[in-house]
Structure 1
Amino acid sequence: MSRSDQNFENHGKVVPAYHYWMGPMLMLPTLYFFVYGVVIDFSFAGLVSFVFSVGVVFAAFFARVFALGVQDRVIRLEERMRMERLLPEDLKHRIPEVTTEQMIALRFASDEELTGLVFTALSEGISDRKTLKQAIKNWRADNQRI
């Protein structure tokens, strides 16, 4: 997708191998180990297999959560630097008031409309990502998000 093709409707990224395959591939064995190895034909080995498979599910879940957390921190740093460069002096002192949620949404705003959107977000207390993204007129694509 080129930079100009991204917009509010299509900016979400879905990786089919992760979002559609990995979940069932991890959950089905976990369900099997629980039903067969713990409930129907209890054995210590079945219990260990179930506990291990639950651990694998948790590891996969938290790997994704932690990766998104790191990306959010990077976005926050990038947007703080961008705001320092673009905002007028009367708004620069309010940069610490901009929440991570607001920065994640405002990263899609063009340089020209960033000042107005930051002012609106802070003065009206808009912190919902979706609301801020919908207010953006000139979309600035983020093709690096994983």
Structure 2
Amino acid sequence: MPFQMSKTQSFQNHAKYYPLHHFVIMPLVLVFLGWSITRTNFDNPQETSNSIYFLLLGFSLLLVSYLPRIYALKNQDRIIRLEMRQRYFYLTGTPFFDKENQLTSAQIIALRFAGDNEILALIEKSILEKTAPKEIKKSIKNWKADHHRV
């Protein structure tokens, strides 16, 4: 039987973890970096050289394992902006640009989860009250699930 995702998504369960990244690669890299830091020794040139080598390797591994995640999330944010522009135009017949310029990226991303029947009111409320993204998500009554997020 293939893996099936939960059909009901809400504020409480919308956070997503990628097990290989979050529970294998990053912990291993952080353990290696921590080990490298604790074993630093600058007593003689050979130990100094080894310490610098392992510190650079640890930081490089951290960057190499973390940057692809950042790139994926940035790309996802751009796609969400495009989706919100399309949804807003579909619902109102007007461009989203004016509203978009009054919202933060985090607010737009939070609003993405609102159903079509409440998104326009939440956009206005978010602009007027400068609502925090977490509060926007908590106030959504008709949650629009997204099981394809990174």
Is the structural similarity TM-score above 0.5?
yes
From 107, 118, 134, the equivalent of 1:102 is 107
Q: Which residue of 1 aligns with 2:72?
A: 67
Partner of 2:62: 57
Structure 2 distance, partners of 1:97, 1:24, is: 38
Letter in 2 for 1:26: V
Is residue 12 of structure 2 the alignment partner of residue 9 of structure 1? yes
Runs of at least 5 residues in structure 1 that lack an aligned partner in the other structure: none
Q: Provide the C-alpha distance between the structure 2 equivalents of 1:103 and 1:142, rounded to a whole number of angstroms.
A: 14
- TM-score w.r.t. length of structure 2: 0.81
Q: For the residues of structure 2 that align with 1:74 and 1:102, how far apart are their CA atoms? A: 14
Q: How many residues are matched?
A: 144
Q: Within 2, Cα distance between the matches of 1:38 and 1:60?
A: 26
Specify which structure has the higher proportion of helix.
1
Kindly, what percent of the aligned residue pairs are identical?
A: 31
Give the letter aligned to residue 119 of structure 2.
Answer: L
Q: Is structure 2 residue 86 aligned with structure 1 residue 81? A: yes
- Tell me the SS of whatever aligns to 2:38: helix
Stretch deviating more after TM superposition (15-24 or 32-41):
32-41
Preserved contact between residue 42 and residue 51 of structure 2 (Cα < 8 Å): no
Is the 8 Å Cα contact of residues 33 and 50 (structure 1) preserved in structure 2? yes
Consecutive aligned runs of 4 or more in structure 1 exceeding 6 Å deviation: none
**Could you say what the CA RMSD is over the residues aligned between the two structures, in angstroms?**
2.5
Q: 1:42 aligns with which of 41, 47, 51?
A: 47
Q: What residue in structure 2 maps to residue 133 of structure 1?
A: 137
Matches of 1:21 and 1:39, distance apart in 2: 31
